[in-house]
Structure 1
Amino acid sequence: MEVKDVKHKKKKKLGSYPYVSVVFSITLALFVIGLFGLLILHANSLTRMIRENVSMQVFLNRTISENDKIQIQKTLASKAYVAVVEDQPQISFISKEEAAKEFIEDTGEDFTQFLGENPLRDAYVININTEYQTTDELAKVKLDIERMSGVFEVTYVENLIRSINENLTKVSLVLLGFAVLLVIIVAVLINNTIRLALFSQRFLIRSMQLVGATSGFIQRPFLRRSFFHGIIGGILASVLLLFVLQYVNQQIKDIEKLQEPANILILMGALLVAGGFIGFMSTYRAIRKYLKMSLDELY
């Protein structure tokens, strides 16, 4: 009796498709978005640090009394344009002796010896609230402080602040434009990858239609799997980002000061949501297309 080898062909299961390539594409796309997101987070932190250090120097009259100095400090602390960190107004006092000492250390020249006196003045340095860092608002702040009794002069680097504002606006617009473009490219990439992956299932979808399966019944396993694969892609992309962050922190000194763990966690959570959403919507569109195709169009 002849023994014939019977080859059992694995049946295709509804909703199954070459998911490895899909997960890889989603992971890669979300990883690129994540890298760009990290760049934006670091840029925002750097912008905030720059703005928090925009300051004005309030020089006092030479004959001012200690009580008047205290009164000026209290008045400045009550102003809305003075930055506040942890309920503390960002005001520091620099005496003329401290200023002279710092100048001598920086230049190596003791100007008090040939002048016979210290020409510098006591001063308050105040950090300006970000809401008041436009050119017009800073001019108003300067005028308001100079009207205070005991204040000799108020100075700040006007050209530098104007340059900072202009450059930060340009950088923000460029980053926003790239972010929108990148999201569109990634969505198209994932959409095309899923459509190609589902191409092998088009005849199975038609067969299910012919035996009376409803559209919802056919779509359900595909949508469930694609959402799950998108979440996996988001998790893998987040893990890759953690490795990148660890490497960057080892290579670049003090960059951790620009990193806020809460924002990084939000970014990674957004990658998971984006992966699931894009995978779900791309699959939904592809399935709807195959459901509406005629038999001739399937070949």
Structure 2
Amino acid sequence: MSTSFDRYQKRKLISSYFSVVISIALVLFLLGCLGLLVLNAKKVADHFREQVVVTIYLNDSAKDVEVKQLQNTLAMAEYTKEAKYVSKEEAAQIVKSDIGEDFMEFLGANPLQNSIDVYLKADYVTNETLDGITAELSNKAFIEDIKYDNDLVEIMNNNVKKITFWVLILSGIFTFIAVLLINSSIRLAVYSKRFIIKTMQMVGATKRFIRKPFVFKSIQLGIIGAIVALIGMAFVLYYLDKTFPEVELLQNPILIGALFVGIFFLGILITWISTFIATQRFLNLKTDQLYY
């Protein structure tokens, strides 16, 4: 009978430990994914900003040497990521590919113009910078027009500011919730052993002696939960990097490594503090208060 009871108690203990590990792993995993989002928010925003194109349309009378000189000047400018010359023939092929038919058969000629597509560095994608570039280039006689999506730039910059603000707010809230959830799981695990704690205290064991195995076991569970969470984060990061290689999520391994180390030690720290507080609470209770 005692053997059967011991096996039951062992299964119950393992189940309790398993639930604590899963709780810690899930919370740290979500917190780590949010950390990845925070670290890469600017990079993702910069990627979309750098898709904005400034198209400089050239007159048919423009000389090759003038066009080449302009392209080189733009390519070397501090605000330029890439300056690409697009001939009217290339533009026609792009339009043909987009609409799925040859529009020149109906028109009898190619109405498009030679142009230079300028892609700016992310920090320069602002209406002020774009207006300055337009004003600087407008005095060249062989440039017919300069176009970019002014509304898109304004909306994009406003949305980036809003998203960055709310991501930081959510990070703080989620970190607080993570601490509460892990603390609750640890407290429930310690609560199930409150009578053992009081019995040890009644036979003369010191608080430090009683607390030590609980803290040590919780730290072990925290380490296991953190490792599980880090494995999940690594899979998510690998998948996102393969799916969106242009964002270059792995470009800064030092920051990512620091995040992984931070999540690992956060799991240890929260479990240690939670166990210390929980055991201290039950150590300070009177025997008759253990039933409430």
**How high is the TM-score relative to the length of structure 1?**
0.73
1:74 aligns with 2:66: no
Q: Which residue of structure 2 aligns with residue 153 of structure 1?
A: 145
Match of 2:217 among 222, 225, 246: 225
Query: Quick one: structure 1 residues 160 and 295, their matched pair in 2 at CA, closer, same or farther if it must change by over 3 Å?
Result: same
Distance 1:25 1:57 in 2: 53
Give the equivalent residue in structure 2 for 1:236.
228
1:51 aligns with 2:49: yes
Query: For the structure 1 residues 6 and 295, does the alpha-carbon distance in structure 2 shift closer, same or farther, using more than 3 Å as the test?
Result: closer
Amino acid at match of 1:129: K
Contact map agreement 1:41 1:259 (CA 8 A) in 2: no
CA distance in 1 between counterparts of 2:184 and 2:273 reads 12
CA distance in 1, matches of 2:68, 2:248: 37
Are 2:53 and 2:119, in contact at CA under 8 Å, matched by a contact in 1? yes
Alignment RMSD (CA, Å): 3.9
5+ unaligned residues in a row in structure 2: which ranges?
A: none
Deviations 1:69-101 (A, max 9, x none): 222122112222112xxxxxx111101232234
Change (3 A) 1:75 1:46: same
Instruction: Tell me how far 1:281 sits from its aligned partner.
Output: 2.1
Q: Name the counterpart of 1:64.
A: 62
| C-alpha deviation, 1:232, in angstroms | 0.5
Deviations 1:112-161 (CA, angstroms, capped at 9, x unpaired) = 9546xx44332111111111122223222322333456433221011122
Distance 1:219 1:137, change over 3 A: farther
Partner of 1:108: 102
SS of residue in 2 equivalent to 1:108: coil
Q: Which residue of 2 aligns with 1:87?
A: none
**1:288 pairs with 2:284:** no
State percent identity of aligned pairs.
Answer: 31
Which amino acid letter does the alignment assign opposite residue 249 of structure 2? E
What is the TM-score when the length of structure 2 is the normalising length?
0.74
* Greater helix fraction, Structure 1 or Structure 2: 2
The equivalent of 2:163 in structure 1 is 171
Q: CA offset at residue 296 of structure 1?
A: 5.4
Letter in 2 for 1:78: M
Retained in 2: the 8 A contact 1:42–1:259?
no
- Any residues of structure 2 matched to 1:182-261 within 5 Å, and which? 182-206=174-198, 215-240=207-232, 255-257=243-245, 260-261=249-250
Amino acid at match of 2:91: A
C-alpha distance in structure 2 between counterparts of 1:101 and 1:31, whole Å: 47
**Residues in 2 aligned to 1:243 and 1:72: alpha-carbon distance in whole angstroms:** 46
Question: What SS is found at the alignment partner of 1:125?
Answer: strand
| CA distance in structure 2 between the aligned counterparts of 1:81 and 1:112, rounded to whole angstroms | 40
Q: Structure 1 residues 224, 145: CA separation in 2 closer, same or farther (over 3 Å shift)? A: farther
Instruction: Summarize deviations over 1:20-47 as a string: whole Å, max 9, x none.
Output: 3321221232344355556667876653
1:298 is displaced (CA, Å) by: 4.3
Q: Which residue of 2 aligns with 1:19?
A: 17
Q: How many residues align?
A: 278
Q: What whole-Å deviation, never above 9, does each CA across 1:215-267 have from its counterpart, x for those lacking one?
A: 55444433332222112112223445567789x88xxxx73536735587666
Q: For residue 154 of structure 1, give the secondary structure of its aligned residue in structure 2.
A: strand
Q: 1:216 to 1:162 in 2, by over 3 A?
A: same
Inter-CA distance 159–39: structure 2 relative to 1 (3 Å threshold): same
Instruction: Give unmatched runs, 5+ long, in structure 1.
Output: 84-89
Partner of 1:30: 28
**Quick one: structure 1 residues 108 and 195, their matched pair in 2 at CA, closer, same or farther if it must change by over 3 Å?**
same
- For residues 142 and 136 of structure 1, the distance between their equivalents in structure 2, rounded to whole angstroms, comes to 10
